[in-house]
Amino acid sequence: MSSTEPALGGWAPSAVHVPVLLDRVTELLAPACAADGAVLVDATLGLAGHSLALLRAHPGLRLVGLDRDPDARAEATRRLTDAGVADRATVVPAVFDELPGVLDRLGLTEVQAVLFDLGVSSLQLDRPDRGFSYAADAPLDMRMDPSAPRTAADVVNTYPTDRLARVLRVYGEERFATRIAQAITRERERAPFTHTERLAHLVRASIPAATRRTGGHPAKRTFQALRIEVNDELGVLERALPAALDALTVGGRIAVITFHSLEDRIVKQTLAAGAVDRTPPGLPVPLPEMGPTLRLLTRGGEAPSEAEVAANPRSASARVRAAERIRRAA
C-alpha cells in the first residue's frame, strides 16, 4: 500500500510526512546513534518520522519504539517495513513511563539515545473520530490509547465544577477557566456532552467577545487541558524523563520536543538539574562524585525556523531541548 492510499479506517497519511524539527533532532542525536549496535528509544513513536531518518542515516542503529496508540503503531510499522528497516526495529505497545519495564523485558541495561516527541500526533489530529480537534464534530474522546477507561466526555460530564475549572486553568492556562467550567456544569444538566462541536461552541460563548478576536480558536486551551487530563500527560512525563536519563549510557544523548510551556518547564528543570555541580559551597575543589551528570546540548528550547513554520504551521510552538550523559550518578 503506497503512502497516498487510505489507511487505518479511512485516514490517509500524507505522501511525505516531515516531522517537526527533523534536521535539528537528527543532528543532536547523530553522535550517539553512529556506532554499530547503538540503540535508539523513540518513546513516542507516532508515525516514526524521526526514527526513520535516524535508521536510514545509521545502518548499525537499532530502534525500540513505544506508543500507546494502536493506530500509530500500525502506521509506524507499515512505514518501517516499506523503508526496509523493520528488521532493526522493535515496536512496543506501551506508555513511555513504562520504559524501564520495556528495556528489562528486552534485556537492555543501557541505551545510546532517547527521543520524546510530546503532544498529540498528526494521525490523532487528522482523524476526526478520535475527538482531539475542535475543527470537526466528533465523539468527545481524546484517548491516546482507545482502550483506556476515561474519555474527555467523562471528565466534562462528571467532574465537579471546581475540579473542572482547575484542569482548565492549570493544564490549559485558561484565564476564563471558572467561567467555562460553570457553563459546562449548567449545560450538562440539560444534556450530557457527547461531541466536540457542542463543547467548542459553549467555550466560545463563555469567553468575552474582545478576547475571542485574538489568540486563535477560543476552545484551543480547553481542548488541550482535557487531552492532558485524559491521558495524564504531565504525570507520565514526570515519571518517564528520570527513567530515560537513567537508561542512557555515558556518551548517550536525549532529545525532547515539547509543544507547550507546561511540558517544556518539566523538561527544562529535569535536564538542568542533571547539569549542575552539587559540590557543597565552601569546598576548595569540586568533588567528582558531586559533579554534573549531563551536558546541555541546546541553549534553552530551540524553536523551528521561519521556513519550517511556514511549511508546517503546527510546528510553531515546538521547542527542542537535548543533553548528553557525561558520567554516571554516584
Consult the annotation and say whether 49 binds a ligand: yes
Is 96 annotated in a binding site? The answer is: yes
Asked if residue 310 belongs to a known ligand binding site, the reply is no
CA distances from 8 to 67, 73, 136 (A): 16, 11, 18
Q: What separation in angstroms does the CA of 131 have from each of 75, 116, 143, 201?
A: 19, 23, 8, 15
Task: Specify whether the CB–CB gap between 274 and 245 falls below 8 A.
Answer: yes
251 among annotated binding-site residues: no
**Which residue, among 186, 226, 224, 189, has the nearest Cα to 202 in the 3D structure?**
186
Structural contact between residues 90 and 66, judged by C-beta atoms closer than 8 angstroms: no
36 is annotated as contributing to ligand binding: no
At residue 223, φ and ψ (nearest 5 deg) are: -65, -40
Q: What is the DSSP code string of 171-226?
A: HH--TTHHHHHHHHHHHHHHS---BHHHHHHHHHHHS-HHHHTSSS-TTHHHHHHH
Feature table: binding site: 48-50, 67, 96, 117, 124
Annotated binding site for S-adenosyl-L-methionine: 48-50, 67, 96, 117, 124
